[in-house]
A and B are shown apart, each in its own frame.
Chain A
Amino acid sequence: MNQQQVRQYVERYLSAFSTHVMETHPAYLTVKLPVEVDKDIGNRPFYWSWVEKMNIPPQPMILTFFFDPENIPQGMRGEFVHFGANRLQQMFQSAKRHGRFVCMYEQSQSLPSKGMAAGRRSSPLTPWLGVNVKVSFLCDKKRDMLLYLGVNLYQPRIVHDFYPFLRRLSLSPAIPPYHYTQEHRITIAQAWQMIEREVEQRIGEVDQSWADEARERLEEELEILEAYYAELAMREAPEGEEAASAEDGPQHVPEPEPVSAPVDDASPSPPDTPAPVDLGDFRAGGGRILDFLRMHAIPETPREAIDQTAWRKSTPKEEKERRIAELRWQYEPRIEVQVINGGLFFLHNIPPFSS
């Protein structure tokens, strides 16, 4: 995104929330954030929690975005918004959160004229399920592919590039007069199954060499590992201090302080703490910050539970297994298909049947 595109994006995002623009200038933009936007991009969750708890009117936040920092009047305060700026990334997230599911109706181009309207039968609109997905090819590297799929729910068939097609139509959230919608002959779940099959097929057509290469690298690394630990066992098992000590008994690590721990004694289990849940999600569900903190606080280990001696080196076997797990984690090729957003679309026009 260049700066002009960034600015357009920001303006469209803000106006989608009917944001009050206080000042607009070729180089900057000053706005008063509406509540919804403030909560998503204002970075003040505690404030919002407080305002809601105390039931007081919130003070809207005023922000100035610079798009062309070179040409900002002297003394003006604001923040540079560019593609990598945190604020823009937050707007992206916010748009994704508030732009997930829609239901739209096509406005017929050839509107029936007044005279005809009364006498004419109303015309049908065909239901479509539009789903936009992101296919990610992952190994130690990653690539994405976006697919815009549409499924005709009346006469089940699937098309690609459905979203670009939609953009050429005139759509409205309300059904236009003199139109009715056709029935759904398949369920959403069935339509999704069609999409899954289609996505699988499309993935099959994509170059698979990345996955083959990743697997080759993985095999190679695993072989090296195998050979290394085999040699380690051979050379060090008889007299080697590492392997021996690891298998039977106290083991000495010379510095900074010598420690020993019996190996059969289970190493201290890590504190039982739940994985951090996203605060934003929690609050979106109506939760209060304080409750969140209470639920997810990670307790300090009490002094008496701190134990510097409970330390033990992995055995070569454990070390090897850990390393194998790391390698698989790093290299194993896999594909993830995520839904960006989707909607019901009642259309008059028929998308070009491409595939």
Chain B
Amino acid sequence: MPNIAFDRSWIEPFAHLMQNDGPWHKWELFQLAIEAEEAQAVTAFDQLQCLKYLPHLQPYPHQLQTAERVLNEMRGRAVLADEVGLGKTIEAGLIMKEYMVRGLAKKILILVPASLVIQWTKELNQKFGIPAVAQKKEYMWRQYDVVVASIDTAKRDPHRRHVLDIDYDMLIIDEAHKLKNKRTRNYQFVKEIRKKYCLLLTATPLQNDMDELYNLINLLRPGHLGHSSAFAANYVEGKRQAKNNEKLKEEIDKVMIRNKRSDGGIHFTTRRVQSVPIELSPEEMALYQGVTRFVREHYRSEAGALNALALITLQREVCSSREAAFMTLYNLYRRTAEDSPIRPSIMELVEMIKRIETHSKAAKTVELIKQINDKVIIFTEYRATQNYLQKYLHEHGITSVPFRGGFKRSKKDWMTDLFQNRVQVLIATEAGGEGINLQFCNQVINYDMPWNPMRVEQRIGRVHRLGQQRDVFIYNLSTTGTIEEHILHLLYEKIDLFEMVIGELDEIVERLNLSNSLEENLISIILESRSEKEMALKLDNMGQAIRAVKRTPPT
């Protein structure tokens, strides 16, 4: 039988009371004390206790299963590797709460990237009633039981000395794939922390790199996969190639859980994507063509000393709004010499802008918003467009608030709040900001398209995530006869971007092995093509390459 420790500290105070005959406590409170213990007692080893403490939380079945497996099979040490958006934080919170409720974990450390410290703290407090604090001062390491900190702070003196001196009942590390290299200081620091339970959270599909996976698991349970060279001999064929797959999978399954959207059982509402073609007015089209000529000429001439990025930006901006294009032209003008031959052509474009009186895209947007008649998020890439739209919507009696990545957290929260409760439209320049919850809205207008598919995905991911109750409607505005149309065609029709799940694209782009990013490839295609036809062909090729990779499942 295990050792039994009896608490005898009560005898002395009790004897003292007997001697003095009191003061005794009330019988009612005596009973209430017992009832409290009865209510809090953990009646079974294996059943989740934490849910009765969390009436507001409605975890998904896969989250509950994950928590149960970590508690009962993995004994509190696990890699949680769900795909993005499936709620790893919820799973970690459930596990944490369960150990706390059972009295098995009190001192808990949560190490996350600096940008996520506040969000984690907030979520643990609000969703789980866990009194977590964000570490700010040195004394906090010891004063508080549940501390959220950035790993980069924690690993530096004097914080490191506190952290390494404390026995943590539980250690949680978010974005744990950053610890893949065992030679880094971060890795070694985490290895030195004394901990009973440990959760490593990552969304990166670790199977891609055997060494990284090995290192991560070794952090959790050293030796679980054997020594690294034995591991290599037994399981690794090439850097990304595993052998003895079945056996390896079995071993990994003992320490890692990866829920995927494709596993089913996780219900997402439908995404309804719609392209909204916009016919430019003759003046607008003239401006677009003028800009396109300008861009091509100056890209080839090279003499103008205008860099490619500014040119491509200009080309894209003119599809967004004349205001955006104007700002860039203005800046170009200022940067060129007074006698530069470029100046007259810039002035010519500016004159064209001045002549434009309509704004077909903005008009279409207003029409769309009125037709939707509900909360709408408009995404644009450009500040100038954002400002213009706000003014334009206001003139048409539509209320809106802006949202930018540069806003402070409190301002972001405030804008989100205004959007939820007061105004109809949120105009955002970036999907920006983890932890901004916009699930109450299900209508998204992509006013212009980012060329980086990840960013498109992030935009949509703001609303189309667990917790979204309604189908999500996405409207992609595209001006007919412009590069915008080509890009949308590529992203949407060729590679079915909008049908893909988060994480899938990640994998595909990685497997494409492009030397440059997808975005850079697009830029060079557009700038270097001598004709519309050539551009269309190149884009088409690219789309086919992506589709080919997509069809062959990863090994």
Contacts and interface: CB of A to CB of B under 8 A. Distances in A.
Contacts of A238: none
Contacts of B14: 101, 188, 342
Given A9-B32, A301-B138, A100 B37 contact: no
Contacts of B156: 308
A143 B52 contact: no
Contacts of A224: 221, 223-224
A225 B191 contact: no
Interface in A295-330: 297-301, 305-308, 310-311, 313-314, 319, 322-323, 325-326, 329-330
Interface string B1-13: 1111111101101
B183 A82 contact: no
What interface size band does chain B fall in? Answer: 35 or more
A335 B2 CA distance: 6
A225 B223 contact: yes
B26 A98 contact: yes
A141 B45 contact: yes
A262 interface: no
B138 A270 contact: no
Contact of B158 (A138, A271, A331): A271
Interface string A107-144: 00000000000000000000000001010111011111
A273 B188 CA distance: 25
Interface in B22-65: 22, 24-46, 52-55
A146 B38 contact: yes
B194 to A, nearest CB: 6
What interface size band does chain A fall in? Answer: 35 or more
A253 B188 CA distance: 9
Given A85-B129, A319-B222, A341 B33 contact: yes
A77 B99 CA distance: 32
B3 A334 contact: yes
A63 interface: no
Contacts of A204: 1
A104 interface: yes
A305 B71 CA distance: 41
B43 A143 contact: yes
Contacts of A235: 227, 229
Contact of A217 (B3, B5, B75): B75
Contacts of B167: 329
A300 B192 contact: no
B45 A210 contact: yes
Interface string A151-188: 00000000000010001000101000000000000001
B227 A343 contact: no
B339 interface: no
Contacts of A83: 39, 52-53, 55
Nearest to B166: A270
Contacts of B44: 143
A255 interface: yes
Contacts of A210: 45
Interface in B110-139: 129, 131, 137-139
A134 B11 contact: no
A225 B225 CA distance: 11
B15 to A, nearest CB: 6
Interface string B86-127: 000000000000000011100000000000000000000000
B29 A342 contact: no
Contacts of A221: 221
B226 A188 contact: no
A1 B222 CA distance: 42
B178 interface: no
B229 A305 contact: no
A171 B27 contact: yes
Contact of A340 (B34, B158, B223): B34
Nearest to A226: B223
B52 A298 contact: no
A100 B223 contact: no
A47 interface: no
A98 B29 contact: yes
Contacts of B45: 137, 141-143, 210
Interface string B135-153: 0011101110000000000
Contact of B33 (A99, A141, A301, A325): A99
B402 interface: no
A189 B11 contact: yes
B222 A228 contact: yes
B17 interface: yes
B162 interface: yes
Interface of A (DSSP majority class): mixed
Contacts of B222: 225, 228, 319, 323
Contact of B188 (A141, A271, A313): A313
A349 interface: no
Nearest to A100: B25
B161 A270 contact: yes
Nearest to A339: B10
- Of A84, A188, A211, A224, most buried by chain B (CB within 10 Å of CB) is A84
B5 A95 contact: no
Contacts of A228: 222-223, 226-227
A211 B1 contact: yes
Interface string A70-104: 00000000000011111000011101101111111
Contacts of A307: 157
Contacts of A189: 11
Contacts of B21: 103
Contacts of A255: 183-185
Given A84-B129, A103-B22, A330 B75 contact: yes
Contact of A82 (B22, B55, B226): B55
B42 A99 contact: no
Contacts of A253: 183-185, 188
Nearest to B72: A141
Given A141-B46, A311-B160, A134 B36 contact: no
A50 interface: no
Given A84-B55, A142-B104, A306-B158, A330 B34 contact: no
B34 A341 contact: yes
Interface string A250-291: 000111100000000000101101011000000000000000
B24 A173 contact: yes
A192 B12 CA distance: 12
Contacts of B192: 313-314, 322
A338 interface: yes
Contacts of A9: 32, 35-36
- Of B36, B71, B75, most buried by chain A (CB within 10 Å of CB) is B36
B266 interface: no
- Of B10, B43, B76, B104, most buried by chain A (CB within 10 Å of CB) is B10
B162 to A, nearest CB: 7
B76 to A, nearest CB: 6
Contact of A84 (B1, B17, B25, B54): B54
A344 interface: yes
A330 B197 contact: yes
Contacts of B143: 276, 298
Interface string B203-230: 0000000000000000001111011011
B185 A99 contact: no
A55 interface: no
Given A13-B32, A224-B223, A298 B139 contact: yes
- Of B34, B55, B139, most buried by chain A (CB within 10 Å of CB) is B34
B164 interface: yes
Given A92-B40, A101-B25, A102-B24, 19 more contacts: A9-B32, A16-B28, A16-B29, A99-B29, A142-B102, A142-B104, A148-B34, A210-B45, A224-B224, A256-B184, A273-B142, A298-B138, A313-B191, A319-B191, A326-B195, A329-B167, A331-B75, A336-B5, A337-B6
21 contacts: A83-B52, A95-B35, A98-B25, A101-B14, A101-B17, A103-B22, A134-B41, A141-B104, A142-B45, A210-B45, A217-B75, A228-B222, A271-B158, A306-B158, A308-B157, A310-B157, A311-B157, A330-B76, A337-B4, A340-B37, A341-B25
